[in-house]
């Protein structure tokens, strides 16, 4: 069976190159979630594709939280970092939780769009719907496709821990994916990221098809309106 790019990339090299993510950013998006979902009774939260637990750590301060990720390496790092969430290894297309197990599911920092076929992405949203109780919420935080297309940086390089990292970006020939190739100069190591370029309307349509009503959308973690130049596309849904 072919190994998907995300099964290779989110390991030791990823941690070495991106050792620290923005903790203040995590605080901002969780605060935005708390404000927007203020009328929803929340006691159990799933951080879907939690990685090393940057958002889980903040979510745990407000609600009981479980974190799910495919990367064993990132989950081990979350344990070492003292993340208090219940951490589970699994595939987001087949969630290992009972129906209506959570009041809120969050998928943050473009941890979506990784699959080659759109049916798999819809499978994820259907699974989120299955494990979300009636009246519960789903927050999907994605890149803003319009801004990315207009401001794509084809190449950059930087030094991280003495290692020169080259990054090349392009839009696929069919216009459906953004592809980033990460090369560790002089090592022969190269990794690829490939993310499906869903428009905000595409994300909303998937949520609606899976049984959610879209109740809000934002373009920043501070809650600014979603527009063509917004850095993010943050869509809030309520389970019907």
Identify the pLDDT of residue 9: 79
In this predicted structure, the answer to whether residue 111 has a pLDDT above a threshold of 90 is yes
Q: Tell whether 69 and 30 lie within a shared domain.
A: yes
Let me know: does 69 contact 76? Beta carbons within 8 Å. no
**pLDDT tens track for 142-171:** 999 999 999 999 999 988 878 899 999 999
In this predicted structure, the answer to whether residue 80 has a pLDDT above a threshold of 80 is yes
Q: Tell whether 109 and 35 lie within a shared domain.
A: yes
Q: Average pLDDT in the 189-197 region? A: 94
Indicate the number of domains in the chain.
2
Q: Tell whether 113 and 174 lie within a shared domain.
A: no
In this predicted structure, the answer to whether residue 14 has a pLDDT above a threshold of 90 is no
Tell me the β-bridge partners of 54: none
**SS3 per residue for 101-125:** CEEEEEECCCCCCCCCCHHHHHHHH
| Domain boundaries, position 60 | 5-144+199-239
Q: Tell whether 55 and 155 lie within a shared domain.
A: no
**How far is Cα 226 from Cα 109, in angstroms, rounded to an integer?**
16
Identify the pLDDT of residue 5: 84
Q: Average pLDDT in the 127-134 region? A: 98
- Tell me which of 12 and 237 has the higher pLDDT: 237
Q: Average pLDDT in the 121-126 region? A: 98
| Banded model confidence at residue 1, pLDDT cuts 50, 70, 90 | low
Let me know: does 140 contact 112? Beta carbons within 8 Å. yes
Q: Tell whether 60 and 125 lie within a shared domain.
A: yes
Q: Tell whether 88 and 186 lie within a shared domain.
A: no
Question: What sign results for the dihedral spanned by CA atoms 9, 15, 18, 20?
Answer: positive
């Amino acid at each position: 069976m072919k190994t998907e790019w995300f099964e290779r990339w989110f390991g030791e090299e990823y941690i070495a190159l991106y050792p620290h993510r923005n903790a203040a950013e995590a605080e901002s998006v969780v605060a935005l979630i708390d404000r927007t979902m203020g009328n929803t009774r929340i006691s159990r939260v799933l951080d879907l594709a939690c990685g090393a637990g940057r958002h889980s750590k903040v979510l745990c301060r407000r609600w009981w939280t479980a974190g799910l990720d495919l990367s064993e390496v990132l989950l081990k790092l979350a344990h070492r970092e003292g993340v208090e969430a219940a951490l589970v290894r699994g595939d987001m297309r087949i969630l290992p939780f009972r129906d209506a197990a959570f009041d809120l599911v969050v998928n943050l920092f473009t941890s979506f769009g990784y699959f080659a076929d759109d049916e798999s992405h819809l499978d994820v949203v259907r699974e989120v719907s299955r494990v979300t109780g009636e009246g519960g919420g789903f927050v999907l935080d994605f890149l803003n496709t319009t801004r990315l297309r207009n401001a794509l940086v084809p190449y950059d390089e930087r030094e991280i821990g003495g290692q020169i990292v080259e990054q090349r970006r392009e839009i696929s020939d069919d216009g459906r994916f953004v592809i980033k190739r990460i090369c560790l100069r002089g090592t022969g190591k190269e990794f690829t990221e490939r993310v499906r370029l869903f428009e905000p309307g595409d994300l909303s349509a998937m949520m609606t098809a899976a049984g959610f009503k879209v109740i809000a959308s934002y373009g920043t973690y501070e809650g600014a309106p979603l527009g063509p130049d917004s850095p993010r596309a943050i869509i809030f849904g309520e389970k019907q």
